[in-house]
Amino acid sequence: MAVIAVWKCDRDGTMFEDKKSAETHDRMLELAANISQLIENEIPGIEDEQLESIGLLLAKRSDDLVKACKGKPDVLLESRDDQNDEKLDNVTAISK
């Protein structure tokens, strides 16, 4: 029987095959939570589900946001389907 090491993200339970990917995912989720909290503090009345979605979107696109703030706003309008697919390749589903 083979032993396979996996890393689990505490925040959402997502499993990863390597520690670096798990830590990157965890940092992204932490950023998303902080963005959501910032928005909630500044704009009262937004539903929790919307806050979470906005936070996740901005956290996932943080690199693009930095580029946009540095003078390349068009990068935010580019499609990122290919980038999202690449990030999901390192996620391994675990059957219960």
CA distance 36 to 75: 22
- For 61, the domain range is 7-88
Question: How many domains, the chain?
Answer: 1
Please state the pTM of the whole predicted model: 0.70
8 Å CB contact between 75 and 64: yes
Look at residue 89 in the predicted model and tell me its pLDDT: 52
Phi/psi for 40 (5° steps) reads -60, -40
pLDDT digits (tens, 9 = 90+) for 37-56: 999 999 989 999 999 999 99
Q: Is residue 96, in this structure, part of any structural domain at all?
A: no
Look at residue 38 in the predicted model and tell me its pLDDT: 95
Q: How many residues does the chain have?
A: 96
Q: Is the pLDDT of residue 82 over 50?
A: no
DSSP-derived 3-state class of residue 25: helix
Range list of H helices, 1-96: 19-42, 48-60, 62-69, 81-88
Look at residue 96 in the predicted model and tell me its pLDDT: 44
CA distance 70 to 24: 23
Q: Is residue 94, in this structure, part of any structural domain at all?
A: no
Q: Is residue 2, in this structure, part of any structural domain at all?
A: no
